[in-house]
Amino acid sequence: MLRIWGRLSSINVQKVVWCARELHLDHERIDIGVQRGDLDTEAYVRLNPNRLIPVIEDFRGKDISGEPFVLWESNAIVRYLCARYGADSLWLEDVEARASADRWMDWQTTTFSPAMVAAFLQSVRTAPAERDEEAIVRSCARTEPLAALLDRALADRDFICDGRFTMADISLACAAHRWLGMPVQREPRPNLERWLAAMRARPAASGILSLPLA
Ligand SMILES: N[C@@H](CCC(=O)N[C@@H](CS)C(=O)NCC(=O)O)C(=O)O
């Protein structure tokens, strides 16, 4: 059994839950987040000293002391689940294919998501009267070229790499769902939108990539 800690409105929790569903893993999710002070308890800080979500406890995996395996960092969790449970499905044995997927996952977490975070926080999480409209404009200006890059990369394909659904599609689609769902002005990105619609149609993504941003 796999326990996933975190509220489902977090894109990083979304990645992990979607991946667990793609792999048909028996799992439960504990609905916690910073707002209720859940992440500051001693028990939670033991699981993730960063006081962030998601974290997994894998009761089938064991650490060196024989305890359930605990892991934080969403993309590391997705990679772990694919490596441990996706040998015949999501895991990429081919080194080049895996490096390509890793590259897109790293790009999502270090480049694409950081560019859009200010626009997200201001347009979704800040009351209209308190919004910093300039911060939204600056953040969108940083994100547009990245969305254009992703749109070009998806122009001639149904998946981002290896000609099939991979862990990179999971990380990228959760970020793209956020970008394309924000109430901000955006350039049209037909390839990105077509690909995201296909990701949303996957049974394992149901109830995740349809969630309103919060
Ligand atoms: N790099 C980390 C980032 C984790 C992170 O920033 N999580 C946010 C949610 S997306 C969080 O825990 N925020 C506290 C909260 O809003 O409840 C990962 O990918 O797991």
CATH of the domain at 43: 3.40.30.10
Give the ligand 1 atom nearest the CA of 77: 20
Residue 145 placed within a domain: yes
CATH code of 167's domain: 1.20.1050.10
What is the residue whose two structure tokens read 């006081």? Answer: 51
Q: What sign has the CA pseudo-torsion 109, 114, 116, 122?
A: positive
Which residues on neighbouring strands pair with residue 70, listed in sequence order?
57
* Same structural domain, 112 and 166: yes
The predicted pLDDT at position 66 comes to 83
* Same structural domain, 45 and 100: no
- Six-digit token string for 190: 């037909």
Domain boundary among 35, 67, 85: 85
What is the residue whose two structure tokens read 């509220």? Answer: 7
Per-residue pLDDT of 114-141, as tens digits, reads 999 999 999 999 999 999 999 999 999 9
What's the pLDDT band for 35 if we cut at 50, 70, 90?
Answer: confident
The predicted pLDDT at position 41 comes to 96
Residue 154 placed within a domain: yes
Residue 54 CA to ligand 1 centre (angstroms): 7
* Same structural domain, 80 and 99: no
Residue 54 placed within a domain: yes
- Residue 78 CB less than 6 A away from ligand 1: no
Cβ-based burial of 46 (10 A; exposed 0-12, middle 13-18, buried ≥19): exposed
The predicted pLDDT at position 64 comes to 78
Measured by CA distance, the residue closest to atom 2 of ligand 1 is: 73
- Residue 34 CB less than 6 A away from ligand 1: yes
Residue 141 placed within a domain: yes
64 DSSP 8-state letter: T
**Amino acid (one-letter) located at 66:** G
* Same structural domain, 41 and 130: no
For a ligand 1 pocket test, name from 9, 40, 52, 208 the mutation site with the most ligand atoms within 8 angstroms of its C-beta. 52
Measured by CA distance, the residue closest to atom 13 of ligand 1 is: 52
Tell me the pTM: 0.97
Residue ranges of alpha helices (H) inside the chain are 11-22, 42-47, 74-85, 95-107, 113-125, 133-153, 167-181, 190-200
Under 8 Å CB-to-CB from 11, ≥6 apart: which residues? Answer: 113, 174, 175, 177, 178
The predicted pLDDT at position 112 comes to 98
Alpha carbons 179 and 120: distance in angstroms, whole number: 8
Residue 198 CA to ligand 1 centre (angstroms): 26
- The domain tally of the chain equals 2
- Above pLDDT 70, what percent of the chain? 100
Domain that holds residue 71: 2-85
Residue 74 placed within a domain: yes
Tell me how long the chain is.
214
- Residue 113 CB less than 6 A away from ligand 1: no
* Same structural domain, 25 and 115: no
Q: Do 20 and 74 form a contact (C-beta atoms < 8 A)?
A: no
